[in-house]
Amino acid sequence: MSLVTTNYCIFRALLLLVSLAVSLDDLFAQDVILCQGNYHSEADAREQLKRMASTFSEKAQWEQRAEALRAQILKGAKLSPLPEQTPLNAQIHKRRQYKGYSVESVGFEAAPGFFVYGSLYRPVEKGTYPAVLCPHGHARGPEGGRYRPDQQHRCATLARMGAVVFSYDMIGFGDSEFIGWKHSHPQALTLQTWSSIRAIDFVQSLEDVDKERIAVTGCSGGGTQTFLLTALDSRVTVAAPVVMVSAHFFGGCNCESGMPIHKTKSLETNNAEIAALAAPRPMLLVSVGGDWTKNTPVVEYPYIRRVYSMFEAENQVENAHFPNQKHGYQFMKRQAMYPFLVKHLRLNPKGVFNATTDLFDESKTILETPQQMRVFDETNPPPKHALAPNAKVKLR
């Protein structure tokens, strides 16, 4: 065979390989089905729940479905196989002590050079305490995310009742934004979900945390982080997703629904069913009349209760519904969450719960400024190996 003929054969073989690669890409692209925002009408969502409910009538069938759902979420979020749990290299500093609790600034590496920034609230007295992760959601305002007053009230009040609380930035919020990261990062869903998993590694590494009592509660986009983490990580023992579990709304941001976690050619689901992956662990659904959780008492909650019934654990899931309230984690919704966490984490409400008013007192929270809460600044510069803002993050 001449050199020309040999080269031609190599050329044809390369062409074949390229065309094969393209067709595989096409095949994959056809399998990518994004369910974003109001992907369903409310009526379609009810029909979908009926279809999904017909696939299981006993615990073993549900567990098989649950395993497939978890695998689909991990694959869609580009977390399959799970990345290596590399050293956190946690920095905990700038301790501020207040009446009944303290706050420290925390940075740790979810992946080499990729930092998670947060505030660590702790009870003052030495002891062993449950941990509560508090993702914050998309609400901004003059002081957004982890800096928001409602977020600080939630964390400080839980710490005053005996919880170690970790409030951590979404990518492009708080310190992450201050350093230059943008929330529109194409890996947002991957990175935030992985950061939540690593946040459990972080709190479990603290000597004052009881590894067997780990809760998570967040609202809106933080509610999405709450039910995704609970679905994927069995170390979460109690969950309270707030104003986000909906069968017809899938989350409006790429960090919630920008990757194919809900639907493939072979398996469909929605956020109500993803929340049900918490079963049989205690879960509180907080819902309101003023957003996409308005149907929770009659649509999502019954579906989730049926899943819990497969474990004979219907009493472990509760719904606190506020028909006249709007979206957010405002005072009355925190008042619904506190007793649920007190009950299931065995917190001590003494000095916080007022039996006369039937309210948990938040007046002792000292609201901090972003400057006080900042993790890295002029005196605590980020390590030299920190990734440049908005870099592509390698997870393994």
Name the site residues for Zn ion (rule: CB under 5 A): 221, 253, 255
Residue 190 CB, shortest distance to Zn ion, in Å, is 12
Report yes or no: 267 and 299 within 8 Å, Cβ to Cβ. no
Residue 139 CB, shortest distance to Zn ion, in Å, is 11
Choose between 36 and 309: whose C-beta lies nearer to Zn ion: 36
Residue 255 CB, shortest distance to Zn ion, in Å, is 3
Choose between 103 and 255: whose C-beta lies nearer to Zn ion: 255
Residue 88 CB, shortest distance to Zn ion, in Å, is 24
By DSSP bridging, strand 164-168 and strand 209-219 are unpaired
Residue 188 CB, shortest distance to Zn ion, in Å, is 6
From CA 181, how far away is CA 268, in angstroms rounded? 33
**Torsion angle, alpha carbons of 226, 229, 231, 235, to 10:** -110
From CA 12, how far away is CA 297, in angstroms rounded? 62
Full DSSP string of 288-316: ETTSTTTTTTTTHHHHHHHHHHTTT-GGG
Give 7's DSSP letter: H
List CB contacts of 329: < 8 A, sequence separation 6 or more.
Answer: 137, 150, 151, 154, 218, 219, 220, 222, 242, 243
Choose between 196 and 237: whose C-beta lies nearer to Zn ion: 196
Choose between 183 and 374: whose C-beta lies nearer to Zn ion: 183
Residue 241 CB, shortest distance to Zn ion, in Å, is 15
Choose between 162 and 172: whose C-beta lies nearer to Zn ion: 172
Nearest to 181 by CA among 396, 8, 386, 394: 386
45-82 in b/e form (b: 16+ CB < 10 A) is bbebbeebeeebeebeebeebbeebbebbbebbbbeee
Choose between 244 and 253: whose C-beta lies nearer to Zn ion: 253
Residue 146 CB, shortest distance to Zn ion, in Å, is 14
Report yes or no: 364 and 156 within 8 Å, Cβ to Cβ. yes
From CA 351, how far away is CA 362, in angstroms rounded? 11
Choose between 216 and 253: whose C-beta lies nearer to Zn ion: 253
From CA 283, how far away is CA 341, in angstroms rounded? 10
Residue 223 CB, shortest distance to Zn ion, in Å, is 12
Residue 10 CB, shortest distance to Zn ion, in Å, is 47
From CA 248, how far away is CA 40, in angstroms rounded? 5
Choose between 158 and 253: whose C-beta lies nearer to Zn ion: 253
From CA 333, how far away is CA 330, in angstroms rounded? 6
From CA 163, how far away is CA 275, in angstroms rounded? 24
Choose between 52 and 244: whose C-beta lies nearer to Zn ion: 244
